[in-house]
Structure 1
Amino acid sequence: MPFAVDYGDGYFGSRQPRAEAQEVFLEANSLPERFSGCRHFAIGETGFGTGLNLLLALEQWRRHAPSDAFLSLLSLEAHPLSPEDLATLHQHLGLDDADSRALRAQYPPPVPGLHRIEFPGARATLTLGLGDAAPMLAGVRGRIDAWFLDGFAPRSNPALWNTGVFRQIARLSAPGATFGTYTAAGQVRRDLEGVGFTVRRVPGHGRKRERLTGAFHAPSAEPATPAPQAPRHVAVVGAGLAGLSSAHALERRGIRTTLFDPAGVAGGASGNPAAVLLPNLHPRDADLNRLALAGMRRTRTLINELEAHTGEVLRLASGVAFHGISAHGKKRVTRLLKAGSEATGVLFDPAGPGCTDAPHLYYPEGLAVDMAALCRALAGTLPAPRAEAVTHIHLTPGQDAVQLETEYGRESFDAVVLANGAGQGAPLSPEHGAVSTVTGQMTRVAATLPDWGGFVATGQGYCIPSPDQTAWIGATYRRTQGPGIRQADTLLATDDAANLRHLAWVPGLDDPATQVLDHWAGERAVVRDRLPLVGPSRMDARGRVQLNLAHGSRGLLYAPLAAEWLVDHWLGLIEPLETTTAARLDPARHAGQAPGASDEA
């Protein structure tokens, strides 16, 4: 029986923890019955502990929920157990199933903030918040239908059982949201009633005399905000990584999608044959680092799912070393090392390998990926995109309908997601004024490369080595006049030469005998701060037009995460990013700005 020495309390209240969780949390919230008729459902929990409560909820969800329903889970934990302890406890509790294995495989590092864990076989997602409950809940958005008020006893853990926490619980509660808890403390009952819950005492589990259950009723002075109406059919414009990820997130949540792209799957910049997944960190920008950690985790999880589903290997190399080649690069490495790996999401290993003597950071979770193959694998889980260019979007006044016009006529949808780079081919919304376009050219070379470990070398450019003594190197960053430049017009011998010149610091690439074998170029959309435009467009105040645009050269890092946030925000489910972090993606942040871009670090 696990025991928390700091709190003087056990993790379980009885010798039958599964039976206790079933009665105190699942049955108190009538979950099996409510699951059977829902489309989307959200559970919130104030003490994750061993994960027992949520894993049992997932068992019931698999048995009772409709096949197209989606479960959103939120749990908070101030003192996470180690993965090793979790594995031991899960085995002891008889929880060694697909969901517990998925939980342990994706268990986050002990970094404060929100972390996503996916249960694709259960059509469910867990947002695990590490940190103190009150400030963590204050940064969460979404609507909760049922609460598990768990945690160590109020007498030993007052930071969890107080009015500040309960006010946040009330803020997140949907009308009629229920709760169950093992405690019957009078102060807890009074505090819950004070924030709008009706509370009942019921017989406790086992030898415990009483416990509390109840439901939320918003005070008349603060009427509840109506739940957003989930669309049933959404048009997604763009079949690159951003559009495919958006459609994937919608389809997983039971929303039917139709994709439009005249160039087909990965016909634009997402057709990159060798992209690098690398976090963009800053020594003093906590929100940017949270985006980087969340983006790395989401993209890796997606790649793992697709590789398991298709049997295809999508990654070209594992591990990425960033070398301080330029003065700016050396300064960046020095500052990040000084800030420490913990301050930047434990994403780099200060003692990791490099392929030169230059100061460097090694990212063990970094990858090189065949982006085009990734897009094809993702498209294989979705309806086939239609090779039609969307030329106009017509918003129907007073109705929840959007009409898309292509060369083949008009069609009506509940909503639309614009995910086509810079928005070309579709009507411009006000946010598009901040977008500019750049062309990036990569070069495939044959060279005598020493074996430095097979990881990707980055610094001034990047080099993705292959076992056959070839490598993809790149990429240039050339401003264009606007969207729509054909790829064939952008392949330049001067860009191949520039790539070789910039990568001359890589062992083996300084050899004059290096041969150019192939090249590839794509046009990317970018805004000043190098972060995408994600969220509702200002062209429609009713939220029927959503954006997932302008990922620049960091689409592999941000696009899958942005799609998850966009869809959860849209549907009122628990969002994977804290409010201050998500604000960095807000399309309105560039309102009134002229386009602009400069070379990326």
Structure 2
Amino acid sequence: MEKPLDNASVRWDENNQPVSVQFGDVYFSKHNGLEETRFVFLAQNNLAERFAALATGETFCIAETGFGSGLNFLACWQLWEQSRSKSHSATHLHFVSVEKYPLTCEDLIRALSLWPELKPYADQLIDQYPPQPALGVHRIRFPLGGVSLTLIFEDAADGLRQLKPCATDGSPAPPNYQFGPGKAKVDAWFLDGFAPAKNPGMWSSELFQSVGALSAENTSFATFTAAGVVKRGLQEAGFAIEKVPGFGRKREMLCGRFNPETPISNDDRPSSSEGTTTRGNARGSSSRLFWHLLSSTDRPASTATNVAIIGGGLAGCMAGAALARRGLKVTIVELQANLAQAASGNRQGVVYCRLSPHNDPLSRFNLLAQVFANNFYAAPDYDLFNSCGDRCGVLHLAMSDKQRTHYQAIAERYRCEPAQNAPMSFTSAPASKSNPFQWLDEGTASERAGLQVKYPGLLVEGAGWLSPQDVCNTLCSHPNIELRLSTEISDLRRAENAWLLCDSDNAQVTTASHVVIANAAAANKLAQTAELPFNQIRGQVSHIATYHAIGQALAGLQTVICGDGYVSPPHQNIVCTGATFTLRNHEQSLNGQCQQANLDNLAAMVQLESGMTPPPLDGRVGFRTTTPDYFPLVGPVPKHGEMRASFSPLQHKANAALTTAGEYHENLFCLLGLGSRGLAYSPLAAETLAAIICGEPLPLSQELYRHLNPARFLIRELIRGSRKRSV
């Protein structure tokens, strides 16, 4: 089992500046690190002029090798704020950085304390810095500044592979293969690893090939070094090189521009990380397959202009908001008279994932989704925890020995020790940031919860509860979103490079260049998504008034408590507890047995007086839509018949190596199958979908994206057929 990367080992010199123990090198110039960044990376890439010249709606992408202390990113963000024209404030900066040895949060704070003028930016970075030790891809949003940061905690070459479409074994895909209708490219490179003489492993031929493959006309680069291996590698990757005076006492450095007419070699060896991960996948995706990718030669390039979304629950509203933030016009079509009336209609929902210390794909996705959702709902653009709920923390009770072992392992992994021998001016991270997952014994857990709980547990301090209806209404208040309520879409038709959305009377409701299907199990009623596999699970939530004896006993509850069920703090004089999970039950009315099951689960979690009279039957029934593997469905909608034909060799040989890309409906996507994790899964799922549609770097690893791709079940079905025949 892979484990998260080791954190950087840092010693602090006499000037309180960090020095890498692994590489025996400084993180930035001892003379003036901030001025070095401005000279080497910002000026030599002409960023001030290029930022100012961006048109409304444009995105500028910078990629970096070596995040280190984050100094380059923060200096770039500061320049971005200073350079953008007020009339073009809707532009977006996407900064991608790869780091093999990330700093701990405490070391990051200490390093950035050297630059007081960057504190407004540093505070925001520290607040969302991923829990350490970390592995894989992490997306961070700074919405008020129009900035996104994608941190990739990998070796540099392997990390850059996450930006390029790859086969299931990690080998590079053909140049015309991509994740969606748009192809991601980098506008400027910061090549800032430790010096080639001290860290030769980073400056590999594979790294330079990736830099070239991700570049296009007018892509620039800058690097502090003038080493021959770097110069030759960049020239072979297609860059015109220029030597210029270096910063301070450094004689020379390199900068330059990409020449798209220069042939680029393509090394197709699989990377160690991606190949190892997929070979360990018991579902059998280790073959060199490209089923999750689209071929740009099969269709003309298309840029999204307007998007229609079918479904006005959490999935549809979250997708709509993600696309609207990127400047697209969005129409959300909802069957009901209001948003969030079906599975998203509960009074209170919990930002909750089932957390595990294991490194299997679902456990990794759950952790990423939990962290991203916690930050998303606290972000200042919507301020959803304050306006639609409460960031009160979620206490996961350890009601079995297995859960106790798992939760203690999580807490131990992410426990952060206070900084040692720090200067007096150094400010430590708050406990909730240093230890985002805290193990609490039964007494401490009871004190934190505000009432007596029966088990110890894991506290996720940054989570809480939200009103899904309020969340959906707030997200859809964006000026780029139009609502069409009380409208059913019964048919989708493709005509003249657009989609026609028609109702049950065959009347056209709207047209769009791109469509997202986000209407849960009703997606099976549309021809294009009829074969996607879903399970519907009935869930009943109980509402207990605070004037009732049990409600009074729960009145002091200060956190959400999760165990076999959940109970959330009182809201509008109602306590919500539940929820049942019942397959093959389509009863829509409240059920007394389910109410009792909720009360039994509540009594198993918290201490209640015996003999309390049960409250009156009250609550809500909803039907969650899940998938067989519990991952949501996020991405382009497959053409099932065409893909079965293209990948039919898998029925005869499970590890057949096929070079064809997947077959997908043009500009048709889905976000489905969130199950009971709608609040936790939907922000990351929507960010992933928007990245695919808009040609941005993915906010998660390619391996995890394959676990979300809607064609995965079709491919597994073919592979299972081969295995059955071989038995």
Determine if the TM-score, normalized by the shorter chain, exceeds 0.5. Answer: yes
Q: Structure 1: any 5+ residue segments left out of the alignment?
A: 595-601
Residue 319 (1) aligns with residue 421 (2): no
SS of residue paired to 2:676: helix
2:321 to 239, 248, 262: 248
SS of residue paired to 1:515: coil
Deviates more, 1:79-88 or 1:163-172: 79-88
Whichever residue aligns with residue 128 of structure 2, its letter is: Q
- Partner of residue 679, structure 2: 556
- Partner of residue 154, structure 1: 196
Deviates more, 1:137-146 or 1:553-562: 137-146
- Partner of residue 237, structure 2: 195
Deviation of residue 186 (structure 1)?
Answer: 0.9
Deviation of residue 568 (structure 1)?
Answer: 0.9
SS of residue paired to 1:504: helix
2:146 to 123, 132, 135: 123
User: What is the CA–CA distance in structure 1 between the aligned matches of 2:461 and 2:692, rounded to whole Å?
Assistant: 31
1:362 to 459, 462, 470: 459
2:263 to 206, 211, 220: 220
| Greater fraction of residues in strand | 1
Deviation of residue 468 (structure 1)?
Answer: 9.1
Whichever residue aligns with residue 267 of structure 1, its letter is: Q
2:517 to 402, 411, 418: 418
User: What is the CA–CA distance in structure 2 between the aligned matches of 1:67 and 1:25, rounded to whole Å?
Assistant: 23
SS of residue paired to 1:551: coil
Whichever residue aligns with residue 342 of structure 1, its letter is: R
8 Å Cα contact 2:131/2:436 also seen in 1: no
Deviation of residue 53 (structure 1)?
Answer: 2.0
- Partner of residue 133, structure 1: 156
Deviation of residue 370 (structure 1)?
Answer: 2.0
8 Å Cα contact 1:443/1:518 also seen in 2: yes
User: What is the CA–CA distance in structure 1 between the aligned matches of 2:136 and 2:714, rounded to whole Å?
Assistant: 29
Whichever residue aligns with residue 168 of structure 1, its letter is: S
- Partner of residue 599, structure 1: none
8 Å Cα contact 2:398/2:407 also seen in 1: no
Change (3 A) 1:133 1:455: same
Root mean square deviation, CA, Å: 3.2
- Partner of residue 4, structure 1: 19
1:391 to 479, 490, 494: 490
Whichever residue aligns with residue 167 of structure 1, its letter is: Q
Alignment deviations for residues 176-214 of structure 1 (CA, whole Å, 9 cap, x no partner): 422111110111111222333332212222332211112
2:135 to 112, 121, 127: 112
Alignment deviations for residues 332-380 of structure 1 (CA, whole Å, 9 cap, x no partner): 4435545775289976323352554446433333322222222222222
Percent of aligned pairs with the same residue? Answer: 31
SS of residue paired to 2:439: coil
User: What is the CA–CA distance in structure 1 between the aligned matches of 2:559 and 2:67, rounded to whole Å?
Assistant: 36
Change (3 A) 1:283 1:85: closer
Alignment deviations for residues 549-574 of structure 1 (CA, whole Å, 9 cap, x no partner): 11111111111100101111222212
User: What is the CA–CA distance in structure 2 between the aligned matches of 1:72 and 1:440, rounded to whole Å?
Assistant: 40
Matches within 5 A, 1:20-31: 20-31=36-47
Whichever residue aligns with residue 234 of structure 1, its letter is: V
Deviation of residue 94 (structure 1)?
Answer: 4.0
8 Å Cα contact 1:431/1:588 also seen in 2: no
- Partner of residue 234, structure 1: 307
SS of residue paired to 1:273: coil
Q: Structure 2: any 5+ residue segments left out of the alignment?
A: 1-14, 165-183, 267-294, 417-434, 447-451, 640-662, 718-727
- Partner of residue 619, structure 2: 519
Whichever residue aligns with residue 703 of structure 2, its letter is: T
Deviates more, 1:308-317 or 1:152-161: 308-317
- Partner of residue 290, structure 1: 364
8 Å Cα contact 1:390/1:426 also seen in 2: no
Change (3 A) 1:186 1:220: closer
Alignment deviations for residues 87-121 of structure 1 (CA, whole Å, 9 cap, x no partner): 45545424345433321211122222222221111
1:40 to 55, 59, 70: 59
User: What is the CA–CA distance in structure 1 between the aligned matches of 2:622 and 2:636, rounded to whole Å?
Assistant: 27
Whichever residue aligns with residue 405 of structure 1, its letter is: C
Matches within 5 A, 1:257-336: 257-263=330-336, 264-305=338-379, 309=383, 312-316=386-390, 318-325=392-399, 329-335=400-406
1:15 to 31, 52, 55: 31
1:490 to 585, 589, 593: 589
User: What is the CA–CA distance in structure 2 between the aligned matches of 1:468 and 1:242, rounded to whole Å?
Assistant: 26
- Partner of residue 97, structure 2: 75
User: What is the CA–CA distance in structure 2 between the aligned matches of 1:129 and 1:426, rounded to whole Å?
Assistant: 39
8 Å Cα contact 1:40/1:69 also seen in 2: yes
TM-score for both structures, normalised by structure 2:
0.73
User: What is the CA–CA distance in structure 2 between the aligned matches of 1:498 and 1:357, rounded to whole Å?
Assistant: 18
Change (3 A) 1:411 1:216: same
SS of residue paired to 1:465: coil
- Partner of residue 437, structure 1: 536
Whichever residue aligns with residue 60 of structure 2, its letter is: F
8 Å Cα contact 1:414/1:544 also seen in 2: yes
- Partner of residue 701, structure 2: 578
SS of residue paired to 2:50: helix
1:379 to 457, 470, 476: 476
Change (3 A) 1:507 1:79: same
User: What is the CA–CA distance in structure 2 between the aligned matches of 1:201 and 1:248, rounded to whole Å?
Assistant: 45
Residue 528 (1) aligns with residue 528 (2): no
Whichever residue aligns with residue 244 of structure 2, its letter is: V
Deviation of residue 271 (structure 1)?
Answer: 1.7
- Partner of residue 54, structure 1: 73
Deviates more, 1:463-472 or 1:69-78: 463-472
User: What is the CA–CA distance in structure 2 between the aligned matches of 1:310 and 1:320, rounded to whole Å?
Assistant: 16
8 Å Cα contact 1:324/1:332 also seen in 2: yes
User: What is the CA–CA distance in structure 1 between the aligned matches of 2:696 and 2:572, rounded to whole Å?
Assistant: 47
User: What is the CA–CA distance in structure 2 between the aligned matches of 1:46 and 1:522, rounded to whole Å?
Assistant: 47
Whichever residue aligns with residue 47 of structure 1, its letter is: G
Whichever residue aligns with residue 479 of structure 1, its letter is: L
SS of residue paired to 1:214: strand
8 Å Cα contact 1:245/1:563 also seen in 2: yes
8 Å Cα contact 1:235/1:413 also seen in 2: yes
Whichever residue aligns with residue 433 of structure 1, its letter is: L
- Partner of residue 560, structure 2: 456
User: What is the CA–CA distance in structure 2 between the aligned matches of 1:95 and 1:117, rounded to whole Å?
Assistant: 21
- Partner of residue 597, structure 1: none
Alignment deviations for residues 408-465 of structure 1 (CA, whole Å, 9 cap, x no partner): 5243211011111124486242464301222211001241426886222222211223
User: What is the CA–CA distance in structure 2 between the aligned matches of 1:467 and 1:544, rounded to whole Å?
Assistant: 42
SS of residue paired to 1:318: coil
Whichever residue aligns with residue 402 of structure 1, its letter is: W
SS of residue paired to 2:379: helix
SS of residue paired to 1:385: strand
8 Å Cα contact 1:317/1:454 also seen in 2: no
- Partner of residue 351, structure 1: 440
Whichever residue aligns with residue 535 of structure 1, its letter is: G
Whichever residue aligns with residue 310 of structure 2, its letter is: V
Deviates more, 1:2-11 or 1:421-430: 421-430
Whichever residue aligns with residue 521 of structure 2, its letter is: A
Change (3 A) 1:113 1:592: closer
Deviates more, 1:170-179 or 1:188-197: 170-179
Alignment deviations for residues 541-599 of structure 1 (CA, whole Å, 9 cap, x no partner): 354111111111111111110010111122221211011112111111122889xxxxx
Deviation of residue 74 (structure 1)?
Answer: 0.5
Change (3 A) 1:463 1:495: same
User: What is the CA–CA distance in structure 2 between the aligned matches of 1:307 and 1:125, rounded to whole Å?
Assistant: 13
8 Å Cα contact 1:228/1:572 also seen in 2: no
8 Å Cα contact 1:228/1:571 also seen in 2: no
